[in-house]
Chain A
Amino acid sequence: MKRIPIFAALTVSFFAITAQAQQCELTDTVLACWMRFNPAAGTDVTQPTPTENATQQVVAAANTGISSFISPSGSAVQDFLSLLSASLESSSLSTNGQALTFDYNPPIQILGMDHALKLQAVFVEPPLNDQLTAHFSGNTAALEPFDKALTNTDDVAMSATFQPTSERWGRSIVPHRPMFRLMLNSLVPNRNQWLVALATAVANVPNLTSNQTFDSLSSDQQLSAMQAIETAAKSQQSFLRAVGGFAEKFALLLNNQPQLYATALYDVRKNVVGPNEWTAKFTYEIGANNLNAFRRRFGTVCNETSLASTATAAQCAHSLQTFAGSAATADDRLAISLEYHRTNQRWIKGDPNLGGFEFGYPRAHEFAFELTYGQTLRGTATSPNNGRIDLSFRYEDVRNPSDATKNVRSRAIGSITYTQKINDSFSFPVSLIYANHAANLGTVDKKLNTHFGLLYKLPK
């Protein structure tokens, strides 16, 4: 019987405290009153600000998984926003599975488009070619000089990737800024009145500063000043809430925008490692629910012309929030790639360590198709310490013009990769990879591999 009054008292106290937090007191400073409704954000700048040292430009990063264009653990989303990143992959079941990837997204404009270029270099731990190891099998002493002479630069894949950025393509807010701005400002169109009222109230109290308590003012000014500050603080709170509700949904749709990019890749290998190889690759990434889908559905009402009307823009902002509402956590992404590879002809002979053995690589052509699906499993795409999963399937068709018996028409590789973001800089990917044929291409040389990695996104 005694529990009910205690519970009731606690409930009343809770609501009393909550109510107290939502109104200013005479003992509050002006700033404390304001922060009851509008908490502080941001931290002090320890370095000289860009205004002070005239520097600018920062870069963006999200959990985008492994960026390597040659890794079987590649992600469904390529990051074109980070300036520089590096990743290390290592196979636990093969001795030659390590690869170090460097990404550079130069902050330059191409054809009027910002951040459209990605340069990448992948350093693969080089294995000796199968023909050589097969010839000297059982004679490790003969292989030793070749093995010892290998360095980390004997198998390097260099690539350049171009990604057009526009209203339809890419995850940058820049092409969408006019729409974003019109909708955002339509939500709370009349801010001037209460901002001027705030400034006038402050001006009417001589020497009032933000760290002054209301009860330190003259008695005839205390209540009116507090009420004026509180009214303005509530107006700012309403404004930020309205804007925040919209901006959050807009960012979710923006992050799901498709990306289309073309890659030219040249793999340089030492002669005892393998042939040099050219690759052309086209990739299309698409998110499940994005701004393009919103435009398709509401474009007749919500276009640049109609958004000039504040009422229409407000209606469209609400439509966008409703549209994105069901996809608050969905960031499913599918990447489809088509590749063409050409292997250069090469013949190796005359090395005294070969003991008269000759071998080489014919010119070969390969077509490959890759499908990668990924999504954030833990948290949301932009939340800290999130985790994402990527499922990949790759089909390769290798043609040997000089010996059709060496054609490999059905080499398939499947992988599942989980990338856990540890902090703002580091991510930890783990992959399970299956290939139906062992082959000397790439870093997959066993039917079943487990890859562990470390991904580091470097600050500028």
Chain B
Amino acid sequence: MIPLPLPKTVRVLLEKEFKDLRRDYKTLFTTILMPLIMMPLLGFISLALVTQQPVNIAIVDEDQNRYTNPVLNITVDSEWLVGNLTYYLSKYGYNVSLANTTEVIYNPDVDLIVVIPKGFAVNASSLNTTAKITVFRKAGYQSAQRAESTVYSVIDVFSYNISNAKLRALSRLAHVNATLQALRNPVRAYTSLITVKGEKVSITFELRNMFARILVLALSFVVSPAAFYVIDGIIGERERKTFEFLLVSPAPVSHVIYAKMIAATVLGIIAALSDALGLVGYMISLGLLYGGNAFILIDYQLLLIHAVTAFFTILSTISIALPFITRTRGIRSASNVASIITTAGIIFFFTGFFIDYVKLPDYILYPLYVIPYVHSILVIQTYMLENITRSLLHILFLTVVSISLLIITSKTVNTEKIIVSQT
């Protein structure tokens, strides 16, 4: 029997639940293995697909000219820019071709067209004109947008080099010592990352915070399987005609509910850990693909806090859903109720990804404290800001709320409603 400080009937029921669950490969696969596989798989597939998206770029060099500015004695050749663009765009996997005419914009297969107009070399080497390059991008393609940003980077570097050459020539002519940085960016700002306590931190700290935000978002993936497991445990068991037989035993209905909720929560917590491990796997795979050490971003204490938060978040969710679920007439309506509640949770966890709840003014934050999900978010957000005491207080609050809800809802479950709803 399960050695837990629980009433004997709950332990007997839990034993049955776990035995049943262990043999329910479909549920185990969807709630445990799926998150573990899905996150890295999602990463690999999206990476693989991104690299497989063909982006066709055409470069039209209407200038085809090399010009040397007689005053500055610097030369600009449109072919150099064409060469730079072709080299870097090809390096990033884009298909680059040279076209003779701008008519190429009517070709549906070409996503991005770079037009170097006549007079480019003259204007680019001039002291009082600017050489203009036109980029035509097919609207609506993300891959074309990425290619466009590469084009702009190449042009920026090209422009910087010309600018540098012009400055050096002018300095020489004027017999002054000037640097490009001092002339182009006479004022610059630098950011130094610090913690709330004022201690300097590296960019890793920021990245770990991003990892924590993803964990907040990951909470939304664990509430649904647990809620639907409880639905199956109660309404499903009622529909499979096993519930009445169970309820007539000397075990109070609250014990039956406790056992089902504990089993669902254990399932949920394992799903949460699988989610987190899947995320770790995803980050490691990114590290392997792009280099860098993803392990430094993984905070195992945070993963533990995530698991504890997930446990009580699931418990709160199913405690809120339970009174409604037991009053429904079938799996479909019970699923609808659970969907509404889990969707509310997902919305909050989604906002937790973007909003710093700790920064919200008290008059907004305090009323939100009635929502258990806000505490789930705050547990992780305050922990990441190294406010461990506050993080623990939110865990405590979540614990008290979820256990109170569990006791209240399991005591108010009406056996008659469950039994009669089936007929």
Report if A and B associate in a common complex: no
| Interface positions of B (Cβ within 8 A of A) | none
| Interface positions of A (Cβ within 8 A of B) | none
